[in-house]
Amino acid sequence: MTNLFFNQREETLSREELKTLQNERLIRQVRRVAARNDFFRKSFADAGVDVDNFAGLADLDKLPFMNKITFREQYPDKMCCVPKTEVREMHMSSGTSGTPVMMLYTANDLDQWAECVARCLRMAGVAEHDVFQITPGMGLFNGGFGCYHGGRKANCFVIPAGPGNTPRQLKLMQDLHTNALLCVVSYGARILEVMQQQNIQLPDLKVGIFGAETFSDAMKEHLRKGFGIDVFDIYGMTETGGIGTLGQDCCMHDGTHVWEDHYICEIIDPETGKVLSDGEEGELVITSLTREAIPVIRFRTGDLTHIHSREKCGCGRTHLRLAPISGRADDMIIVKGVNIFPSQIEQSLLKIPGVLPEYIITIDDVAGVRKVYVQVEAQQNVTGYIVSRQLKEDLGFAVDGDVVPPGTLTRSEGKAKRVVYKRDGEVVK
């Protein structure tokens, strides 16, 4: 039987042990970054934080927030808290506009990243010597290398396939008997599409780990049934150190375990910044406890979720569980007074038999009136009327739906661009 723990001692710490460890590490981290970096020192001083008398968790809400803008303003390395001679690697965000988010890594940061990903792999049932195929790119974007570091630490046979060339991906999976596949969510759907078109069987594949995009329940079921495997949702971001650093769901599929020995989670009201109680939906805020080069202190992720449980999970882990990410605060679409997220539209579309997981949402502001138009690939029995009716039933307002034949919409080998914004018919860039 597969050992479902990579570091059982740390993954099963009691709540009291976790709290004590977090408190000690938080105090040490705050004092360390204030002593070593002008940005953090000034930020804390401006917020009135007395670093010498900082009391840890009890004073957490006194610390100022950070966000993506902070990283861009301090680009490339103004938040670095170690000498340049200790930096061993760098990665950056995959965004195509504006100043990127850069992350630097010490040797310990790389080991922490590898440890977190290795925990995720074991939690998904990936055993030592399993064949682990990685499809995110092995470049500046942190996805591929994080999986690589973790796969090596978990003692897997790693296939660093990188993105694209889907027929080759499938040939590698057949020839090398891939057991576990890691993809961006939308690229996982593309691999499944080609696999079904070519009538390929993958009897050795047992686990699919997907991330980097909001992962609706309907899409999880589509991939689970299509591949005939168990499906997991891995979580992390450039600012926290990369893919898998924050955690993943386990075999119970009852929330995302966050590695609390390395990160503190808060949920805040996005408007007021007030910390919310467990179970209340809000914006996730992360503080890194063990990262050295560029740690985050109360980083506003923009992701909307809630703390699902702090109780011991059926898998045996004690680290808290987040509810699935419902959307991003900056992705919310307000139409006719109704707040919706692209993931809700996807969930609605995939309820319809014959609809495929390829779609484009167009938001068009026409003379001050916002309209939503959805174009989706589907089989011949699905009509635009059926799509519009389903969307209206689920969303509460009329949405124009148009059905196009399978293979019509442009595919992406990275993160899919699902939403297009227009003003009076012209694309807004």
* Mean pLDDT, rounded, for 401-426: 82
Instruction: Characterise 334 by phi-psi region: left (phi > 0), alpha (psi -120 to 50), beta (else).
Output: beta
Of residues 104 and 140, more confidence is placed in 104
Average pLDDT on 71-87 reads 96
Average pLDDT over residues 278-305: 97
Measured in whole angstroms, how far is the alpha carbon of residue 238 from the centre of its chain? 10
Percent of the chain with pLDDT over 70: 97
Query: Does domain 8-14+78-329 match CATH 3.30.230.10?
Result: no
CB-based contact 216:347 (threshold 8 Å): yes
Residue 429 has pLDDT above 70, yes or no: no
In the chain, residues under CATH classification 3.30.300.30 are 332-427
pLDDT score recorded for residue 327: 80
Note the pTM of the prediction, 2 decimals: 0.85
Comparison of pLDDT for 141 and 9, the residue scoring more: 9
pLDDT for 252 equals 97
DSSP SS3 for 300: strand
Q: Which residues pair with 404 in a beta bridge?
A: 377
Determine the Cα–Cα distance for residues 33 and 63; give it in Å rounded to an integer: 13
Where are the domain boundaries for CATH 3.40.50.12780 in the chain? 8-14+78-329
For the segment 326-333, the average pLDDT, to the nearest whole number, is: 76
Distance in angstroms (rounded) separating the CA atoms of residues 259 and 237:
14
Give the per-residue pLDDT at 262: 98
171-180, 244-253, 416-425 — which is least confidently predicted?
A: 416-425
Whether residue 338 has pLDDT greater than 90: no
Give the number of other CB atoms < 10 A from CB of residue 274: 11
Query: SS3 sequence, 304-354?
Result: EECEEECCCCCCCCCCCEECCCCEEHHHCEEECCEEECHHHHHHHHCCCCC
Does 3.30.300.30 match the CATH number of domain 332-427? yes
pLDDT at 95: 54
Band (2; pLDDT cuts 50, 70, 90): low
Three-class SS of residue 195?
A: helix
Say which DSSP state 240 is in.
G
Measured distance CA(299)–CA(18) in Å, rounded: 20
Handedness of CA 283, 236, 258, 68 (dihedral sign): negative
CA distance 147 to 91: 13
For residues 376-382, give the mean pLDDT.
90
CA dist., res. 404 & res. 390, Å (int): 17
Q: Which amino acid is at 245?
A: T
Answer yes or no: is pLDDT of 47 > 90. yes
